[in-house]
Structure 1
Amino acid sequence: MQQLTKNHKAQISACQHCDAKENLESAHVHGRDRNDIIESILSQDSIDGIVSVNIEKFEERFIEEHQPLEKSILILCRECHRKYDAKPKQAKQKLHSAESTPKNSTKRAGVLTITFEPSDEQVFKQKLLLNKQAVIETRYANGTVESKVWNADRFNASSNLLGNLRSRPEFRAGKWQEAGITRVHLYFSNEPN
C-alpha cells in the first residue's frame, strides 16, 4: 500500500488543498480511513465472533478497497493534513463491503459495541480534547455496570478515538467476550468551563 500511495503522491506532486510542493503526505479521505476499511473487510470473515483471515487475500482486498486512490487518498502538505484531520468528519460513506450500523455505535459481527454521549464521535472527541477525561461505562452480560474515569491527558487531535479504546486490554478481541462485556458507553460527568 505504501508504494501505491508513494507513486500517487509523486503523480499528484502538490497539496490538493493549497498547491504547496513541500512536505507532502498521504491522508485518508474522511469515511474511508484505514480502520473503516479494515473493519469492513474483517466483518466478512467473522463467524460467531471469531475472525479467520487469509493474510494474502486480506492484503489484496485492502488494496482493492482503496481503489481508485483518488477516492480514498488525498495528497496534502503537513499543515493541510493536520487541519483536515482536525475537522469533524462527515457521516461515513458506506463502504461497498461494509454492514450498515447506527451512527452512534460500532456494532459489527465480533466487534464490541461502543457508544458515545454526545452520540456523534467527532463531537465527543472535541469535548474529550477540552475535558481531558470521560467516564467509561462497561456493561456485562450478568447485569453488572462498571464505571471508570478515563484520564485522557495524552489524547490529542490526531489520536484515533475508537482505536484508542479498542487497544485497551479489556476491550481487545477475545478478552471482552471472555469477560462477558456486552457494551461500552462513554460520557462526560461534567462539562468544560
Structure 2
Amino acid sequence: MGIFTGTIEDFDKYIGPRMRNIVQTSIGKKFKLQTGECEFCGTRDNLELANIKGKDRKALIKLASKEFLNGDIIYELDLNKYETTFRNLHFPLDETFKIFCKKHHNEYDRTEIIEIPEEFIEDKINTPSDISDVEFYSSGNDKLPIIFYPKDTTEFKELLLQNKSAYITIFFNDGTSEKKEWVANRFSENSDLIRNIRSRNEFRQGNWQKRNIQ
C-alpha cells in the first residue's frame, strides 16, 4: 500500500476516510448485526454505531500510529502494517462500540461524564463510559445529559462528601475532550447534586452551545 510521512492532520485527511470505511462497512457492520438492538432502550429500528468515549476513530488512528509519531509528524509509516494495527485496536468490539437508536446515539454523544476517582470506589464498574452500567440525567434537548460514575447518585454524593473531589470530562464537537477536577469543599449534605452541576457556568443553557460542547 505504501509508506506515509506527514502530519497527523494530513494523515487523518487522506487516510482517515479509508479507516472510516473499514469501521463502518467491515468491523462495525458485523457488530451491529450481532447486537441487534439499542443498548439503552432495546429498540431494533434505525440502529447506529457509536464509539465509546475516548475510543473514537481519531483517537484510534493516533494510537495506531504512535510508534511512528514524533510530535505531530508521522515518519515512514507502513500503511499495510498500520491498517492491521488499526483493525486490531477495535477488538474486543464491545469495548470499542455501542449500538444505539438515533435518539440515544445523539444523547450519548452529548453526554458529560462526572466521576469519582477510582481509588475512592470499592465496587467499580468496567469504565465510566460503559453506558449499559450508567444512567443518563437529562431534561430534554436544551440540557446536556450527565453520566455519573458510580451511577447511583446517592453513592456518588456520599463519596463526594467524604472526599470533596470528583472529575468532570467534557466532550466537544471537534472530537476533543477536557478533564478537570471538581474541588467540592463547599458541597454539603443539603446540596442538590444535579442542580449544583448544571449551575456551573459552562453547562448553563446557551453557554455550552457557544463552547461547542457536545
TM value normalised by structure 1: 0.48
Please identify the structure whose Cα radius of gyration is greater.
Answer: 2
TM value normalised by structure 2: 0.44
